[in-house]
Amino acid sequence: PDAPLRRAMPSAPLRRPTAGRRLTVDAAVAALRPQEPLHCLRPQAVTDAARAFVAAFPGDVLYAVKCNAEPTMLRAIAAGGVAHFDCASEGEVRLVRSLFPEAAIHFMHPVKSRAAIRTAWSQHGVRDFVLDTDGELTKVLEETSGGAGELGLVVRLALPKGPAAYDLSGKFGAAPEEAAALLRAARPHAARLGLSFHVGSQCMDPAAWTRALALAAQVIAAAGVAVEIVDVGGGFPVAYPGSTPPALALFMDAIRDGAALLPPGVRLWAEPGRALVAGGASVVVQVQARRGDALYVNDGVYGALSDAGAPGFRFPHRLLRPDEAASAVLRDFTLFGPTCDSADVMRGPWSLPVDVREGDWIEIGQLGAYGTALRTAFNGFDRALVTEVTDSPMLATAGYEAGETRAA
């Protein structure tokens, strides 16, 4: 076939296409007739979103690699001007370093194995590490031999539960008093000392960052030591059906308002993931059976559609039938994935033509965020195809496209 094509392996980075030209999604489906899930990558959309975010944010942008570690997407992010990467594991560190020998890599997981710290420090040139306990500080210092005057230490601050779609307040972070004490303990060992937080994923409230920065300013004041960095985390939202976030510029204004409370000279970091890559991929699934209002498709919650399961995210979608037109009358359906687990269900609702049938394809968009990252091999359903396409994202988010936001 004309389209660049390769097998997608679960829980691992995907290989780049080696030949062919990019097609539209419709043309790729017509040519390939895929009987396995087809991941359709839009690298230009990712580059545009990265470029817009870099232009808007008043500091350093660290891409959250966990969101999508596909090398094509990582290269697209770098092409948009991102030169810093937020990694959470030795595997992510190794991948980024193999692609970008000169990139700045930051180990942002607050709990790391000693081996991961040691390898990141000695083999991959990682100098910045996040922590939220005395024990983690001890580990980092011991495994880096004290840091040799190069160590960056960032204390993770816990936030109260907020309005984000995914609350991240329960697992990591030190309470304000503990965070202040950790800043004091880390200061003598740090060439760079920082404070970080995360308001939660898909947070629609710009003021959440203002409030978090105000709390960060209080913690820094209580610590009574110099702090060079404040990391405002990720959580920047994108559009999904029925959910349109405020424009990117409003989030940046809220961050500037909060940053005005910090000591002079503090450098800001941010860790966007979803905001850069969500629109950069869709997945085409095939209908394998229909039972009334239920469609059985060849991908599901153990594949690219985890967020469509229990979290209940809704995604843009459309029917693809290359050889004939489908009905213009729509009906709501439930989708079931291919595994034998009854929890492999995506209730949507998925609005599709009433005559949808076995053999039809459905394109599901906004899956650049976590679509490939959360795939598993459960039940043996580990086969998927990947191609690059020329289409725009199925949904646009104001300010995440190049040229739509003011410079910082």
Greater pLDDT, 374 or 128 = 128
pLDDT digits (tens, 9 = 90+) for 60-78: 999 999 999 999 999 999 9
- Asked if 329 and 243 sit in the same domain, the reply is no
Tally the domains of the chain.
2
Q: Which two tokens stand for residue 331?
A: 């009906």
Using a pLDDT cut of 90, give the percent of the chain over it.
84
CATH number at residue 29: 2.40.37.10
Is 37 part of any domain? yes
Q: Which residues of 227-237 are buried (b: 16+ CB within 10 A; e: fewer)?
A: bbbbbbbbbbb
Predicted pLDDT at 15? 36
Is 369 part of any domain? yes
Is 400 part of any domain? no
Q: Rounded CA gap, 332 and 260, in Å?
A: 48
Query: Cα–Cα–Cα angle for 375, 302, 13, nearest 5°?
Result: 5
- What are the distances in angstroms from CA 75 to CA 44, 130, 173, 404? 10, 25, 31, 22
What is the domain extent for residue 219? 43-277
- Asked if 29 and 138 sit in the same domain, the reply is no
Are 162 and 208 in contact, with CB atoms under 8 Å apart?
Answer: yes
On the question of pLDDT at 169 being above 80, the answer is no
CATH number at residue 134: 3.20.20.10
Mean of the per-residue pLDDT values for the chain? 91
Unique residue bearing structure tokens 């650049």? 368
Among candidate residues 227, 247, 277, the one where a domain is terminated:
277
DSSP class per residue in 94-118: HHHHHH-TT-EEEE--SS--HHHHH
- Asked if 108 and 120 sit in the same domain, the reply is yes
- Asked if 138 and 251 sit in the same domain, the reply is yes
- Asked if 142 and 191 sit in the same domain, the reply is yes
Q: Rounded CA gap, 372 and 369, in Å?
A: 8
On the question of pLDDT at 13 being above 50, the answer is no
On the question of pLDDT at 9 being above 50, the answer is no
- Asked if 94 and 122 sit in the same domain, the reply is yes
- Asked if 119 and 68 sit in the same domain, the reply is yes
- Asked if 190 and 48 sit in the same domain, the reply is yes
Q: Which two tokens stand for residue 122?
A: 């000695």
Is 287 part of any domain? yes
Among candidate residues 251, 277, 303, the one where a domain is terminated:
277
- Asked if 246 and 384 sit in the same domain, the reply is no
On the question of pLDDT at 404 being above 50, the answer is no
Is 131 part of any domain? yes
- Asked if 255 and 137 sit in the same domain, the reply is yes
pLDDT digits (tens, 9 = 90+) for 355-399: 999 999 999 999 999 998 999 999 999 899 999 999 999 998 887
pLDDT digits (tens, 9 = 90+) for 182-206: 999 999 999 999 999 999 889 999 9
- Asked if 24 and 101 sit in the same domain, the reply is no
DSSP class per residue in 35-103: SS-EEEE-HHHHHHHHHHHHHHSSSEEEEEGGG---HHHHHHHHHTT--EEEE-SHHHHHHHHHH-TT-
- Give the bridge partners for 350, in sequence order: 333
Handedness of CA 135, 196, 100, 189 (dihedral sign): negative
- Asked if 126 and 59 sit in the same domain, the reply is yes
Region 282-311: mean pLDDT is 96
Greater pLDDT, 161 or 188 = 188
Per-residue pLDDT band for 17 (boundaries 50, 70, 90) equals very low
- Parallel, antiparallel, or unpaired for β 361-364 and 317-320? antiparallel
Using a pLDDT cut of 70, give the percent of the chain over it.
91
Nearest CA among 223, 225, 197 for reference residue 212: 197
